[in-house]
Structure 1
């Protein structure tokens, strides 16, 4: 669609903490790459709150503004407020909790339409520690006043309504986009690591919620004649390495860290394992499925049950076999080991892998990117004529830092 000479492009600003390695960061750049069809109607800007090394590239036609908020709430709010006052965006869309809170508070009193995207099941993600309770309170005070919230799964949407008072009529569910062409191209490349023989693959940050400790125990119990490769980096590395050594698995469990092209490794794997205690949308699992891998996954909140079983999660459900793999209860190493043996069976894994790949086409990149832009278009078209009354009176004070 061509614009008339007098038509003004709208300004859309995307906000995220940084482009350091991670699922949300990869999805942000995937979404931006697929947004070229909307360039004629929008000036698109990406705002990075922190100065971190970029793990993912942004198209050169997108303006990138890098702030230096050092991972803190208050500087993020102040810096975003100053930026919005200067560039006057029509609509903003943020990923991740700090960026979301900063986006909501920075647009308060402005005519900018504020959209946030929640990438995790916040109740499960934050847990019950004192600092986590403070974070959950902050989300409860701010999230209901966003003009619209995009949740990455039904479970995330329900959690936002039940535990964070977000009105259901302001929530849309949009699954993460999968770039099948890119995965196919990168999957054909040379792997950054060489693993002899068959191996099980897993990906994710080495943090407690990903529960790779349970996966290592399950792998040991499975007694399968293969290796385990866990791609990712994080604070749990030393603990996991000590566990591997204690089990005598140094030659069969590999922790190569973060690698730029995980798809070349996934394409050559036998199956994919997701041992998480909590997810928003298990992007690593879906991308592995797009590589043709059958999966063994925990039935964690949120996403695996919706994707593999086509139904909401039932936390009391036991092990369930499906056409693309097996779903097991969370934090159950014995059940996970049994599921690994079932899916590893050569008689079934190829068929399950083919089914897994077919499932991912409902998350095709252009379809899901189009859903994001439908929401952006709608909000930008109804850009607030005045300050909305429902916004909470929260000062940018030390309580948010």
Structure 2
């Protein structure tokens, strides 16, 4: 029997996060492909693992300590040992390291972009180097898998990726697991009805705006924000200034968020930018109506099945409401409108129905179709970027 071809997946770590959950969900759904291929996973950072992987995946643990240079050199050495026929990476630093590690090997490599790249990298001197690195490496991938059409459009318009080398595959949502875990006892129980938001406590998630909106809305429900991050102290101080600290709960990272989501009245997504908001679809799978910002990229595609520009008004969404970014007045008004019955019940039912379009089987099959297409020889592979330029970039995530 001929030796199986090796397929290498690469990600920064399996610490808690949306990309990490997506990758492990895809691996768990890949039993059929594990019979045909030898599956490997390289983790750049030796962080505590929030998610497990199936027994059929061989894990190579590196220790780059969140550094780009160490990520490049350690992954390059690991690729030399594993000798994959194809590789697929998730997250910007892993994508850049993948490009460097596969340079000169005449093997195809793919990347998966999880965020709206322009919004994620931001502006400033450090961002300029990171943007240059993305422009140098991403167009050379055999294929770029974007997490939404908005992310794909941004890569084509601003980072030189050819339209025929990029496609959008929505994140998978494991409805069976979500429903099973939703029925478990909640690790945190708020003192009354509540609206829930989920995400890392960082500026781009804009929980500061959510606090302002919640204070304006004055709805008969608490606000629960699940997640941890550098903005915690500032958000707690803001809640105190607004006089809502006694109605806001911030329990941090929760191992089973679904038990909390399933018992909520509504879900809030106040982000300035997203790639594909996993928490949004997971909340919808729990039957929650949604108030979200119409940010780039993802919410309009998920909630309204259309581009951002095609959403004509806040309530032009069966599953809830979409409002402009960073507009506390509009977000607060939408919280009031969607919370009121019968809108809340109808929007929750529409959200659950829409979430069924994001199944594990569909997403896994589409990812593997791209991987297997890359394994088919099609002429000389495009050259990978030089190590010197990579080392000048400021890519950390």
Verify the 8 A CA contact 2:133 2:390 in the aligned structure 1. no
Aligned ranges 1:20-59 → 2 under 5 Å: 20-59=15-54
Return the match for 1:165 from 142, 160, 180: 160
Return the match for 2:392 from 371, 374, 399: 399
Local SS of the residue matching 2:112: strand
What does the per-residue CA deviation read over 1:17-66, in whole Å, with 9 as the maximum and x for residues that have no partner?
01111111111111111111111111111110001111111112211111
Verify the 8 A CA contact 2:132 2:393 in the aligned structure 1. no
Verify the 8 A CA contact 1:78 1:396 in the aligned structure 2. no
Mapped pair 1:9 → 2:4: yes
How far apart, in 1, do the equivalents of 2:102 and 2:230 lie?
A: 34
Verify the 8 A CA contact 1:244 1:253 in the aligned structure 2. yes
Deviation at 1:8, TM superposition (A): 2.5
Q: Which runs of 4+ in 1 moved over 4 A?
A: 315-318
How far apart, in 2, do the equivalents of 1:297 and 1:159 lie?
A: 21
**Structure 2 partner of 1:178:** 173
Mapped pair 1:308 → 2:281: no
Deviation at 1:316, TM superposition (A): 9.2
Verify the 8 A CA contact 1:142 1:392 in the aligned structure 2. yes
**Structure 2 partner of 1:136:** 131
- The count of residues paired between Structure 1 and Structure 2 equals 394
Mapped pair 1:218 → 2:213: yes
Deviation at 1:196, TM superposition (A): 2.2
Unpaired segments ≥5 residues, structure 1 = 1-5
What does the per-residue CA deviation read over 1:190-239, in whole Å, with 9 as the maximum and x for residues that have no partner?
11101122100000000000000000110000011110000000000000
Local SS of the residue matching 2:347: helix
**Structure 2 partner of 1:362:** 357
How far apart, in 2, do the equivalents of 1:209 and 1:373 lie?
A: 31
Local SS of the residue matching 1:140: helix
Deviation at 1:321, TM superposition (A): 3.2
What does the per-residue CA deviation read over 1:111-156, in whole Å, with 9 as the maximum and x for residues that have no partner?
3210100000010112112212221111011111111100000000
What does the per-residue CA deviation read over 1:249-285, in whole Å, with 9 as the maximum and x for residues that have no partner?
2221010000110000000000100000000011110
**Structure 1 partner of 2:251:** 256
Unpaired segments ≥5 residues, structure 2 = none
**Structure 2 partner of 1:236:** 231
How far apart, in 1, do the equivalents of 2:6 and 2:141 lie?
A: 18
TM-score (norm 1): 0.95
